Amino acid sequence: MVFILIVCSALAGFFARPFIDSLIEPASRLLTLADGPAKSPEAKPTTETKAPEAEAATGTFEQLETPPAVVILPELDSSDSEIRNAITTVSPELAPWLKGEGLIRKFMVLVNDFSQGLRINKHLDFIKLPQSLTVKETNDGIFIAPESYQRYNALAMAIDHIDVTALSTVYKTFNPLLLQVFKEFSYPEDYPIETMLNKAAMEILSAPIIEGPIPLTKQSVRYQFADPQLEALNPVHKQMLRMGPENTRIIQDKVRDLLGVVK
């Protein structure tokens, strides 16, 4: 389900130009099987924050059996056209976000980042939103403007239209190519690809939702969350906040739907 994770998180914000991130942990940080990845201290939600429980998902990514039909796959480096066509069949509105080359490798690198709570800028350059951050300044301070959330509306709707059963079939079909890239990460043999995918899904589902205005502060040329608890969140959760509550709900609901299909 790498594609739903990209579609439901990366494309919906991680490809956007950063405006609020503080220093991001190095991409080379590896997960440990016993304790999981090192994370910043968990931020306690503010009184305005509603943190959806990751456990609300109805399932998890599990190891897959070989698809029953014999499918002749292209070589990894020649797979862009096939994977692009396959994903657009599950939601044609996703086509604008599936440009570029090396899609499977780029998608896998991003999911690996997400599974560790990371948002690595150099892995996001191949797709950017054309609009920049919009803020609203009042006597009470600086806030994220509603227009900033609206930048993601079209993409959120494309995600909402995804046929998760069809996407599950796409994942099973292209699983050998995904595994080929996964092996390049050099995880231990007893750390399967499904563990990485589940961790990425849980990062998305555990992102908080803020209903009210989100205050910002400007540090030099960059904005930061004024609330120290929000600023302490990991980069994945910060990016979800930048998308706005409604778009975040759409993405989280679609991930839950997918987890209920992939068993």
Summarised one tens digit per residue, pLDDT across range 135-190 is 999 999 999 999 999 998 988 899 999 999 999 999 999 999 999 999 999 999 99
Angle (nearest 5°) at CA 206 between 202 and 208: 155
Q: Supply the DSSP string of 71-127, one letter for each residue.
A: --PPPGGG-HHHHHHHHHHH-GGGGGG--SS-HHHHHHHHHHHHHTT---GGGSTT-
Residue 69: domain span: 2-261
Nearest one of 46, 191, 200 to 119, comparing CA atoms: 200
253 Cα distance to chain centroid: 13
Nearest one of 17, 50, 53, 46 to 225, comparing CA atoms: 46
State pLDDT tens for residues 222-239: 899 999 999 999 999 999
Would you place residue 6 in the very low, low, confident or very high pLDDT band (cuts 50, 70, 90)?
low
CB 225 within 8 A of CB 238: yes
Find the radius of gyration of the CA atoms of the chain.
18
Q: How many domains does the chain have?
A: 1
According to DSSP, the residues that pair with 222 across neighbouring strands are 219
Q: What is the pLDDT of residue 60?
A: 66
Helices (H), the chain: 2-5, 80-90, 103-115, 146-150, 153-160, 164-183, 193-205, 228-231, 235-243, 245-261
CB 189 within 8 A of CB 26: no
Would you place residue 62 in the very low, low, confident or very high pLDDT band (cuts 50, 70, 90)?
low
Structure tokens at 46: 């503010």
Would you place residue 59 in the very low, low, confident or very high pLDDT band (cuts 50, 70, 90)?
low
The mean per-residue pLDDT over the stretch 121-125 comes to 74
The mean per-residue pLDDT over the stretch 8-29 comes to 38
